[in-house]
Amino acid sequence: PGRLGQMAALMNKQAQFTRARAFAAANGRVAPVVSRAPRVACKATPSTTVAQAKTQQEEFIEVDLPKPLGLKFARGIDGGAYIIKNDPEMGNTDPRIEPGDKIVQISASFGAEVWDAQNFGQIMYAIRTRSGTVYMKIKRNFGDMSALDDDNMDASEKQWRRERAGGNYGVGTKEVQQRNYVQRKENERKRRELFDDALAKFKTNDLQGALVDFENILAMEPRNYVGDNFSRVTPIYKVTQYNVACCYSMMGSVDEGLKSLEAAMAAGFDNYDQIRRDKNLEAIRKSAKFQPLLDKYDEPVINWNAVKATFGFFGKKKEEEL
């Protein structure tokens, strides 16, 4: 009975305390008790932090380099100009630039104007016609080359390419080959249309517009075709290089015109009579570098080296007789 009495008294006191606290809270004297859910600390992984940092904050490099540039460029799947090689032995460059970085701004051909990058052809035109140092604003991609993939392959094609690289031709080979054939024909159609547009601009003396289109056509050449020696190129490639040479010659950019003319002949353009007669190449033909370049690919009518060697032989023989 004593214990039961103690418990009853304790419960009575607790009930009185609860009623008193509720009354005080209702009159604003005591803050009500709020229950809180337990908090758990979450530590981000380093990979997540790096990925978020790259997503949230883009990084750019600004350079002003004299020509020649120690950089090689390629056309990305978005049509933009991306850096694929940084080689100080090729020319002037900046060690911060990495393969995969994208050109977002470029200096205009003349003066202090800066162009926003529109496409690969525009960037190449700006660089090749620039008379002073070349300003570039470059978006860093930290070595990410995914923008330079040939196409957006699905999982089955990626698997097929991996198998093919290992010498295993799976059951999907025919399907992928058919799809690639259709895609290749579609790309050829697009290049042909762009080529026709470029020729139309060329005929109306819109040399800048024509050059931008021609440069884009060159950049769209299948990558398994163009090598260092141009051993395999599509027919449109060498003709486009020749037209680029004509454009630069008409603009008075002789050195750039000679570069494109050499690229055309190296790729198999062999209409040497046209090169000698084409009025669009008149400025190039006045250069002292033109004839040696042409002789490199087309045997001259008079082989002056043979003539010099012959006269040298007889002259030497005469001296020996004396």
Q: What is the pLDDT of residue 289?
A: 96
Least confident of 110-114, 240-244, 281-285: 110-114
Asked if residue 55 has pLDDT above 60, the reply is no
- Report which of 124, 314, 317 is spatially closest to residue 217, judged by C-alpha positions: 124
Please report the sign of the dihedral spanned by the C-alpha atoms of residue 22, residue 23, residue 28, residue 30. Answer: negative
Share of the chain above pLDDT 70, in %: 64
Contact 191, 220 (CB under 8 A): yes
Confidence of residue 57 (pLDDT cuts 50, 70, 90): confident
Question: In this structure, what token pair is assigned to residue 259?
Answer: 């570069």
Mean pLDDT estimate for the chain: 79
* Domain ranges (residues) in the chain: 58-148, 174-297
100, 144 contact by CB (below 8 A):
yes
Tell me the pLDDT band of 159, cut-offs 50, 70 and 90. low
Using the predicted structure, report yes or no on whether residue 208 has a pLDDT greater than 70: yes
For the question of whether the overall pTM of this predicted structure is more than 0.75, the answer is: no
Task: Summarize pLDDT for 234-275 with one digit per residue, the tens.
Answer: 889 999 999 999 999 999 999 999 999 999 999 999 999 999
Superfamily of domain 174-297: Tetratricopeptide repeat domain (1.25.40.10)
Tell me, what's the pLDDT at 17? 57
Six-digit token pair at 32? 């009500």
What percent of the chain is modeled with pLDDT above 90?
53
Is pLDDT above 50 for 47?
no
Q: What is the mean pLDDT of residues 153-163?
A: 56
Q: Give the pLDDT confidence score for residue 28 in this predicted structure.
A: 53
SS3 114: strand
Range of weakest confidence among 49-53, 221-225, 262-266, 268-272: 49-53
What value, to the nearest 5°, has the Cα angle with vertex 111 and ends 105 and 115?
A: 20
Question: Is residue 229 helix, strand or coil?
Answer: coil
Instruction: Say which CATH topology domain 58-148 has.
Output: Pdz3 Domain (2.30.42)
Q: Would you say 147 and 102 are in contact if contact means Cβ atoms under 8 Å apart?
A: yes
Average pLDDT over residues 143-161: 66
pLDDT at 316: 55
Residue 310's pLDDT band, with cuts at 50, 70 and 90, is: low
C-beta separation of 53 from 88 below 8 A? no
In this structure, the chain runs to a length of 322
**pLDDT band at residue 212 using 50, 70 and 90 as cut-offs:** very high
CA atoms within 13 A on the CB side of 167: 0
199, 210 Cβ separation under 8 angstroms: yes
> Going along 147-264, which residue ranges are E strands?
none
pLDDT of residue 233: 79
Strand partners, 61: 138
| Choice between 40 and 284, residue whose per-residue pLDDT is larger | 284
Highest mean pLDDT among 149-158, 179-188, 299-308: 179-188
Residues 6 or more apart from 298 whose CB is under 8 A from it?
270, 272
174-297 and 58-148 share a CATH fold: no
> Which of helix, strand or coil describes residue 166?
coil
Q: What is the mean pLDDT of residues 189-193?
A: 91
The H or E element containing residue 61 is strand 60-65
87-110 confidence digits (pLDDT tens): 999 999 999 999 999 999 999 988
Q: How far from the centroid of its chain's Cα atoms is residue 142's Cα?
A: 14
First to last CA, the chain: 153
The residue ranking higher by pLDDT, 168 or 137, is 137
Helix or strand holding residue 234 (H, E): none
Q: What pLDDT does 244 receive? A: 97
- The partner residues of 139 in beta bridges, in order of sequence, read 60, 102
Q: Which residue has the higher pLDDT, 307 or 35?
A: 307
